[in-house]
Amino acid sequence: MRHTYLAPRWYYGWNVVSIVFLVLLVSAAISSIPSVLMLQFEQEFGWSRSAVSGAMSIRIFLYGFMGPFAAALMARFGIRRIMLLTLSLLAASLTLSTWMTQIWQFIMLWGIVMGLATGALANVLGVTVAGRWFVKHRGLVVGILTASAATGQLLFLPLLAKISVGLGWRFSIYTTVAVLLVLIPVVAIWMRNHPSDIGVPALGETDVSPPSPFTGNLFLAPLLVLKEATKSGTFWLLAGTFFFCGFSTNGLIGTHLIPACGDFNIPVVMAAGLLALMGMFDMVGTTLSGWLSDRFDSRWLLFWYYGLRGLSLIFLPYALNGGYTLLLVFAVFYGLDWIATVPPTVKLTADHFGREKSGMVFGWILVSHQLGASAAAYGAGVLRQWLGSYTVPFVTAGLLCLFASLLAMRVVKQRGKSAAAIEA
């Protein structure tokens, strides 16, 4: 049933965005912890770089693989329930990890459990919330929620690095668990699944429309969406470019920049500061990218984002050899488009596959992203162990980004209303 709605001054959807921003922020911080603790794990337990990288590779893959199924779970059980379940699972898994002594325990807790849990609190959550609550400003909301990952690193990584150096890595885990325990009741009290739950429409619409009940099979529905999507060349182009995106971001830089800095005797806290600086600039760049994707051709945005990222990565080995000042330059330019590719990719997905299916389709595109990230997380660790440096992985990732910039222009532009037109 539909009825016309008179909008109040403040739209509750912005409260929902704020809560989801905090959840994604903490989830991103948890995903980044291993890059800070990798050297301490190696020193305390005697684990090899490739073994730790392998566990991170598993987590990164499961993080992506969970995406389309998380979208189905949210449709079936509601966003709030899934958020509460995964936050509780993360708190339990982190707590148990303080007692681990064997590599298989690290793989189980940090690779498998955290991979699945953070995957349910990934970009698919932001895309789902933006799609349900916003027609107007949807691209901006996607940009804001995507930027939460950068903000998580900005706030948490330097703090966790200082705690781990001063008090030991277990205290950095306890700090993160404490934040999760504060966040859980916030979600329980104020989070809402859908605008119709409180009798409001999506922003930009006037009719209150409750969601259609989810009647499909939880595991079959995402597979059916994938089967349909793979018939489109656009899907393969977006999945291909996103593979290179994952390869060049959280799989490579997010996992290996701090260890690479360690090769040049740059302290962990200073290296974590580089990631925090990237996070600060990415927060600006990704939010701006969301605004731009509401107004300009997303293909051209991707062309520039991937191209500039590729040049930054090719420059990175020179920056590592040239000192901390050059690394600051790298952090600024790389940070500006670290994950700025997400809003235009989401926009192209929604334009080609429709609003209702965009969450699950983007979830499968995110799987490709995490396959690339997983390959980089493990492959860069192995190459570092064999070659003694990260030069080859960094330059290879840069060249792949340049190739991705060309692939993005192959996406066929959809005819019809743009987001800007809808807003007008």
Asked if pLDDT for residue 89 goes beyond 90, the answer is: yes
Q: Which residues contact 143 (CB under 8 A, 6 or more apart)?
A: 286, 287, 288, 289, 290, 291, 293, 342, 343
Q: Is the predicted pLDDT of residue 424 greater than 90, yes or no?
A: no
- Asked whether residue 105 is domain-assigned, the answer is yes
pLDDT, one tens digit per residue, over 99-109 is: 998 989 999 99
The whole-model pTM stands at: 0.73
Rounded-to-integer distance, Cα 251 and Cα 316, Å:
16
Q: Residue 8: what pLDDT?
A: 61
**Mean pLDDT over each residue of the chain, to the nearest integer:** 84
What is the mean pLDDT of the segment spanning 31-52?
Answer: 81
Average pLDDT over residues 226-250: 92
What does the alpha-carbon distance between residue 395 and residue 410 come to, in Å, rounded to a whole number?
Answer: 24
According to the model, what pLDDT value does residue 73 have? Answer: 85
| Best-predicted range by mean pLDDT (120-134, 176-190, 207-221, 357-371) | 176-190
pLDDT at residue 422 in the model: 31
Q: Is residue 249 included in any domain, yes or no? A: yes
Assigned domain for 210 exists = no
Question: Residues 291-318: what's their mean pLDDT?
Answer: 92
What are the residues facing 4 on neighbouring strands? 207
pLDDT at 419 over 60: no
- Is a pLDDT exceeding 60 seen at residue 5? no
Taking CA atoms, 40 is separated from 18, 156, 379, in Å, by 34, 18, 21
Residue 356: its pLDDT value, please? 67
What's residue 154's pLDDT?
A: 67
Q: What is the CATH number of the domain that holds 337?
A: 1.20.1250.20
Q: How confident is the model at residue 264 (pLDDT cuts 50, 70, 90)?
A: confident
* Nearest partner of 378 among 267, 252, 204, judged by Cα: 252
- pLDDT interval class at 420 (50, 70, 90): very low
Integer Cα distance of 52 and 46 in angstroms: 10
User: Total structural domains in the chain?
Assistant: 1
In a domain, 211, yes or no: no
* Domain assignment of residue 353, yes or no: yes
Q: Print the domain residue range for 70.
A: 13-197+218-423
pLDDT tens, position by position, 337-392: 888 898 899 889 888 887 667 778 888 898 898 889 888 988 888 898 888 889 99
Q: Are the CB atoms for 303 and 99 separated by under 8 Å?
A: no
Contact in structure between 347 and 298 (CB atoms under 8 Å): yes
The DSSP-derived string for 228-261 is: HHTT-HHHHHHHHHHHHHHHHTTTTHHHHHHHHH
CB count in 10 Å sphere of residue 318: 12
Residue 61 amino acid letter? F
pLDDT value at residue 404:
96
pLDDT tier at 308, thresholds 50, 70, 90:
very high
pLDDT at 150 exceeding the cut of 70:
no
The answer to whether position 213 is within a domain reads no
Task: State how far the Cα of 390 lies from the Cα of 282, in Å rounded to an integer.
Answer: 23
Q: What percent of the chain has pLDDT over 90?
A: 29
Give the per-residue pLDDT at 137: 82
Task: Compute the residue count for the chain.
Answer: 424
Among 412, 415, 381, 390, smallest CA distance to 34 is for 381
> What would the two tokens of residue 39 be?
């050297």
Give the residue with greater pLDDT, 75 vs 326: 326
Round to the nearest angstrom and report the end-to-end CA distance of the chain.
Answer: 26
- pLDDT of the residue at 1: 46
pLDDT of residue 407: 94
Instruction: Read off the pLDDT of residues 215-227 as tens digits, 9 standing for 90 and up.
Output: 667 778 888 888 8
Is 334 within the bounds of a domain?
yes
* pLDDT given for residue 416 in this prediction: 45
User: Considering the domain boundaries, does residue 64 fall inside one?
Assistant: yes
